[in-house]
Amino acid sequence: MQINKLPIAIIGGGSIGLVAAAHLAKRKIPFILFELGSSVGQNILSWQHIKVFSPWKYNIDKIAEELLLQTNWEIPNKEGLPTGKELVDKYFHPLSQHPQIQPYIHLNTEVVSIGRKGLDKMKTANRENKPFIIKVIENNQTKYYEAKAIIDSSGTWNQPNPIGSGGVFAEGEQEIKNNIFYGIPNIKGDLLNRYKNKNILVVGGGHSAMNVLLDLADIQKKYSNTQINWVLRKKDLSVVYGGKEDDAFEARGALGARLEGLINGKKLNVYTHFHILKLTVNKNGIQIDGELNGENETISNIDEIISNTGSRPNLDMIREVRIDLDASLESVFDLAELIDPNTHSCGTVRPHGEKELRHPEKDFYIVGSKSYGRAPTFLMATGYEQVRSVVAYLDGDFESAKRVELNLPETGVCSSDSVSEGSCC
């Protein structure tokens, strides 16, 4: 088959992958979409109980909405804050069932590798004229697919960072993984029995950790034997609190204010500027050895650990593709300066498109949170602009690809007026 007649392959059936499918469908460009899980939005369902900062009006792509309005879809309240489950149930799932998208989605499909047909990474001659070859395990069977272009939106959520110091696994960490939850557990829901009246250690200094700590504090009110310990590497807690009531992002500020109240009320033990080096299990529980402000420190008698130390991209599947990544963030190289969390929050990353996302491998793009590498500043709305531009470019619509068609409010789209349940970007 001629390469131009092959479909474009989308890796990942989350928000950005599905919106890429919507834009391709709108332009009548053939595509296939591979999703590892048994449902679209599988990663988001792992934190389905959490509300996002941004209201529905910033979470629904315009072209996706246009396709959905062709069906009997009910538009959510555009000013409301959705939970992860609501995003999947009210948006991702209906979009995946659209007749122009549903036939081309392959669920339960793990992408093992991507490369050029018959060529390894070192071969240059005639490379751009070769189709991409995608090796997958689909419903436990190995299969191969060809594509003329790749849009990798596989995300980073299923690649959590270790809790050990320096970004590597602490000694003993992998041996006790059954007592470590990497992510945001539904503490007040189906995992209540796992955490109530237990001595719990939370690791991490971002919004995910803040949500977890506030949930633990809620169950502590009812189950008074629940003990909460918080380990973070930051030296200054004020950086974690944010601006509180002065924060431009109200929901984020509310999290910081609530958390500061818990700490001042001595509802949790805080170990700040702590680096975890070793984990061991004894008859009294888990022992954590590390350094607190440069001195040896031990935390003992822990029952459960919750890790919120961020995530990183899975690069194994694209080892035979010529990519250009930033050395520190592991982001697409030209994005690094725009998204560096040392200087940016999610509200200050400006929209960007195909030009910034290019790799040395022609017609290969990493989009969505994976394009940000280890940076936690990604927003769905910015990802939608990424795929709009990439799809336009792949369709030969170069003028549209160059335009920026996303206007964010001055404070970004992390803000909201709802602070009751807590949120995450």
Quick: pLDDT tens for 370-409: 999 998 878 888 999 999 999 999 999 999 999 987 765 5
Q: Is residue 412 part of a domain?
A: yes
Q: Are residues 94 and 221 in the same domain?
A: no
Q: Is residue 188 part of a domain?
A: yes
Nearest by Cα to 29 from 153, 149, 155: 149
Q: Is the CB of residue 90 less than 8 Å from the CB of residue 15?
A: no
Q: Are residues 70 and 44 in the same domain?
A: yes
Whats the size of the chain, residue-wise?
425
3-state secondary structure of 193: helix
Q: Is residue 176 part of a domain?
A: yes
Q: How high is the pLDDT of residue 415?
A: 33
Q: Which residues in the chain come in under a pLDDT of 70?
A: 1, 236, 238-254, 345-348, 407-425
Q: Are residues 24 and 47 in the same domain?
A: yes
Three-point CA angle 386, 389, 395, nearest 5°: 135
Q: Are residues 97 and 214 in the same domain?
A: no
Q: Are residues 50 and 99 in the same domain?
A: yes
Q: Are residues 282 and 240 in the same domain?
A: yes
Q: Is residue 425 part of a domain?
A: no
Q: Are residues 277 and 386 in the same domain?
A: no
Q: Are residues 371 and 254 in the same domain?
A: no
Q: Is the CB of residue 346 less than 8 Å from the CB of residue 338?
A: no
Q: What's the predicted TM-score (pTM) here?
A: 0.89
Q: How far apart are CA 23 and CA 10, in angstroms?
A: 12
Range of the domain at 285: 165-310
For every residue of 205-273, which 3-state class applies, written as one string?
CCHHHHHHHHHHHHHHHHCCCCEEEEEECCCCHHHHHCCHHHCCCHHHHHHHHHHHHHHHCCCCEEEEC
Q: Are residues 28 and 115 in the same domain?
A: yes
Final residue in a domain of this structure, among 263, 291, 310: 310
Q: How high is the pLDDT of residue 246?
A: 47
Q: Are residues 178 and 75 in the same domain?
A: no
Q: Are residues 318 and 415 in the same domain?
A: yes
**Domain CATH for 67:** 3.50.50.60
User: How many domains does the structure of the chain reveal?
Assistant: 2
Beta bridge partners of 233: none
Q: Is the CB of residue 212 less than 8 Å from the CB of residue 202?
A: yes
